[in-house]
Amino acid sequence: MRRRQGLGFWLALGWIGLILLAALLADLLPFARYDETLAGPPQSGPSAAHPFGTDGLGRDVLSRVVYGARVSLGVGIGAVLLGLGIGAPLGILAGYRRKAADAVIMAVNDVAQAFPALVFALAVVAFAGANLRNVLIVLGVLGVPSWVRLIRGATLTFAEREFVLAARVLGTRDRRILWREIVPNVAVPAASYAFIGMAVVVVAEGSLAFLGLSVQAPTPTWGGLINEGRTLMETAPHVVLAPSIAMFLTVLSFNLVGDRLRSLTDVRESGLEPVRQAAPALPATTHPVRDVLLQVEDLRTHFVTPRGLVKAVDGVSFTLERGRTLAIVGESGSGKSMLIRSILGLLPGTSVRGGNVYLAGDDLTSYTAAEMRSVLGPRLGTVFQDPMTALNPVRTIGTQVMEPLRVHMSLTRRQARAEAAKLLASVGIPDPVRILRRYPHQLSGGMRQRVTIAMALSCRPDVLFADEPTTALDVTIQDQVLRLLHRQREERDMAVVLVSHDLSVVARWADEVIVMYAGKVVERGPAAEVFARPRMPYTEALLQAAPRLTDPVHHRLRVIPGRPPDLVDLPEGCAFRARCAYADERCEREAPPLFEDGHDRRRYACWHPRTQAQDGTAAAPSSDVTDVAEGAESGGR
């Protein structure tokens, strides 16, 4: 995938190319030799004959800077290649082989890191002679420990990936695994380090030269030029500025290229991440307020991605009353999690929200950030999917559970602690006082999810939003957590919004269901009715695609061909039509509205709804034909 690297990257690469070329062709360039004294009047400023002026002995500064680049770049490139040549094989070996080889290499590396590198560079060069070869070797060797560490780290991250295991299962020999599976992946970060390494070496060589410990006069070096120019600072500042600027630009360019290359390391982007660009604003609206706890009207959430505008939530409406559970069902990318975040106002900065959310008649979408904060917690509670990431790893359970109590309910520390212990006990955590002093990593996943539920309940919210609360948990723990949520709803007379991809969970615990597809509601109604008699073909297919314990063994599941639509490039008409067995021309032209079915709460969006009497299984179209369809469109994007 080609990605824009930005102007800076190309400028930096251009500068490196330019200076490299100049250094190589220095002998052919039309200026005085670097050691020709009195090529012009001493200490003269920039002029046509001497663009960078002359130094104290009347030597051409430009010439000296260009010849100095030979040393700087030569040492920079040479030392990095040397360090890479020694360090990379050791790093790969340590990272891939592990065990003994790793232990030995890393122990040696530990010692090498404690070694005062610069002092040794100084000592070796001072004693063994200050020439290009010695400087290059010393700086190269001193870089080896870093190279070993970096390459080992990069190797480790890939050696643990399953594709390496897969290669070994195939019977691939180690040598081939290293070359084919590991090296190509390590190469990109290594190239990035190489450029940053060159920046480091150029500076180090400059430091040595500055101390008079690099290539000796008359050969000019940048560090040496700066050191010489220092004495003329007051009378001829250009003598010191010219090499300083050259050096600065070169180091900057190496750093910049290295930094940009590192961003290439991640090849796993979907192109659907929000970018820093606001989506077109949506018009402000109001709707008649109804006498319910939570009323969502025509809610929309749009954001801009590198590939285009995504309408993550596209006109969702529903109402919810106390003591009820509303489930939002859909596959990944259907917008169900985005809907929750949209209601709560927790969207990424650049996304744009339209429509209205009324909580007991108050329009939350008109609230300021500060007003919204007084609602989040006390009136709206939230539980997320992964209990491993839902708690702050560096704060105790007690601090985290007590925080909303202290912030929103202004309890004293002592009161908050007592209340937190009560809360933990109420969600079934044994020995709560002890748990308050623990850190999240000391608790199991199930216990952590109980803690996050306790936190969400702490300020007695009216509505609890639970986004896939049990997806990361084992099935026996899932049952416990769902029971807990249900019991709390009863005790506190709350409403619950449960987001889930698991139809059996929804069927068991929800009163009402919303089925989402590509950001839109495609069906909604009382859970029992929707599951017994789905009207929208997608709902029907989803129900038949999920395996059930009651199905016979080797039962062929309904296959929904193809895959969810590309949110950036939604088709005209019904978003599901490409995968739908009943689709016709009308579905291509016109998006179906939400039709009412019998009563106000039961709705579906389809031109060809399944009829009430229909036996779902019999009506399922033959799946054999459609199975390859996903492959056929595998060209995808």
Partner 1 sequence: MIVLHRLIRLLVVLVVVTFLSFVLLNLLPGDPVTQILGLSATEEARAQLRQELGLDQPLLVRYLDWLGGLATGDFGTSYITRMPVGSELAERLPVTLELLVAAQVIALGLAIPVGVAAARRAGRALDQALTALSFALLSTPVFVLGVLLILVFAVTWQVVPATGWTPISLDLGWNLTSVILPAVTLGAGQLAVYARLLRTDLIATLQEDYITLARARGLSPRRILWRHALRPSAITLITAVGLNLGALIGGTVIIETLFGLPGVGRLIVDSIFSRDYLTVQGGVVLISVGYVVVNFTVDLVYAAVDPRIRRA
Partner 2 sequence: MAGSGSAHLRPRDEVLLRVEDLVVEFPAGRGRTVRAVSGVSFDLARGETLGIVGESGCGKSSAARALVQLPPPRSGSVRLDGLELTELRGEALRRTRRRLQMIFQDPISSLNPRRRVREIVGEGPRVWDLPGDRVDEVLEAVGLDPATAAVRRPHEFSGGQCQRISIARALILDPEVVICDEPVSALDVSVQAQILGLLEDLKDRYRLTLVFIAHDLAVVKNVSDRIMVMYLGKVCELAPSADLISRPAHPYTRALIASIPGGGLDLPPADQLISGEPPSPVSPPTGCRFRTRCPRAAARCAEEEPRIRRIGADHWLACHYPETPPAPA
- The length of the chain, given as a count of residues: 637
Of 517, 566, 7, 571, residue with least CA distance to 271 = 566
Which option in partner 2, partner 1, none does residue 119 bind, with CB closer than 5 to 8 A by kind? partner 1
Is residue 322 a contact residue for partner 1 (CB under 8 A)? no
244-263 residues near partner 1, rule: CB under 8 A: 244, 247-248, 251-252, 254-256, 259
Give 283: exposed, middle or buried? Use CB within 10 Å, 0-12, 13-18, 19+: exposed
Is residue 100 a contact residue for partner 2 (CB under 8 A)? no
94-113 residues near partner 1, rule: CB under 8 A: 110-111, 113
Q: Candidates 185-193, 403-411, 499-507, 582-590: pick the segment binding partner 1 (CB under 8 A).
A: 403-411
CA distance 610 to 449: 39
205-224 residues near partner 1, rule: CB under 8 A: 206-207, 210-211, 223
Which option in partner 1, partner 2, none does residue 569 bind, with CB closer than 5 to 8 A by kind? none
Residue from 18, 51, 115, 284 binding partner 1 (CB under 8 A): 115
The three-state secondary structure class of 375 is helix
Is residue 237 a contact residue for partner 1 (CB under 8 A)? yes
491-510 residues near partner 2, rule: CB under 8 A: 501-505, 507-509
Binding mask 349-378 for partner 1 (x = CB under 8 A): -----------------------xxxxxxx
Is residue 415 a contact residue for partner 1 (CB under 8 A)? no
CA distance 147 to 576: 52
Q: Which two tokens stand for residue 496?
A: 């619950």
Is residue 114 a contact residue for partner 1 (CB under 8 A)? yes
Cβ contact 316:517 at 8 Å: no
Which option in partner 2, partner 1, none does residue 618 bind, with CB closer than 5 to 8 A by kind? none
CA distances from 428 to 3, 185, 446, 448, 480 (A): 51, 47, 11, 11, 10
Is residue 568 a contact residue for partner 2 (CB under 8 A)? no
Which option in partner 2, partner 1, none does residue 566 bind, with CB closer than 5 to 8 A by kind? none
CA distance 560 to 629: 10
463-482 residues near partner 2, rule: CB under 8 A: 474-480, 482
Instruction: Write the DSSP assignment of 304-337 as a string of letters.
Output: EETTEEEEEEEEEEEEE-TT-EEEEE--TTSSHH
Q: Which residues of 319-334 are buried (b: 16+ CB within 10 A; e: fewer)?
A: bbeeebbbbbbbbebb
CA 429 from centroid of its chain's CA atoms = 33
Is residue 269 a contact residue for partner 2 (CB under 8 A)? yes
Minimum CB distance to partner 1, residue 24 (Å): 23
Q: Which residue, 377 or 573, has its beta carbon nearer to partner 1?
A: 377
Instruction: Write the DSSP assignment of 188-224 as a string of letters.
Output: HHHHHHHHHHHHHHHHHHHHHHHTT-SSPTTS--HHH
Minimum CB distance to partner 1, residue 237 (Å): 6
Q: Which two tokens stand for residue 46?
A: 């920039």
Minimum CB distance to partner 2, residue 539 (Å): 12
CA distances from 525 to 63, 321, 334, 365 (A): 82, 14, 18, 25
Q: Which residue, 436 or 443, has its beta carbon nearer to partner 2?
A: 443
Binding mask 315-344 for partner 2 (x = CB under 8 A): ----------------xx------------
Minimum CB distance to partner 1, residue 514 (Å): 21
410: which residues sit within 8 A by CB, 6+ positions away? none
Which option in partner 2, partner 1, none does residue 427 bind, with CB closer than 5 to 8 A by kind? none
Residue from 553, 569, 600, 615 binding partner 2 (CB under 8 A): 553
CA distance 301 to 303: 7
Is residue 427 a contact residue for partner 1 (CB under 8 A)? no
Q: Candidates 85-93, 309-317, 375-383, 540-548: pick the segment binding partner 2 (CB under 8 A).
A: 540-548
Q: Which two tokens stand for residue 1?
A: 């995938």
Q: Which two tokens stand for residue 580?
A: 């739908």
Is residue 438 a contact residue for partner 2 (CB under 8 A)? no
Minimum CB distance to partner 1, residue 210 (Å): 5
Of 605, 607, 619, residue with least CA distance to 516 = 605
124-183 residues near partner 2, rule: CB under 8 A: 161-163, 165-173, 176, 180-181
The three-state secondary structure class of 406 is helix
The three-state secondary structure class of 512 is strand
Q: Which residue, 65 or 503, has its beta carbon nearer to partner 1?
A: 65
Is residue 248 a contact residue for partner 2 (CB under 8 A)? no
Minimum CB distance to partner 2, residue 545 (Å): 4
Q: Which residue, 167 or 211, has its beta carbon nearer to partner 2?
A: 167
Number of residues located near partner 1, criterion CB under 8 A = 75
CA distances from 404 to 318, 343, 397, 478, 496 (A): 29, 20, 12, 26, 20
121-160 residues near partner 1, rule: CB under 8 A: 122-124, 126-128
Cβ contact 454:424 at 8 Å: yes
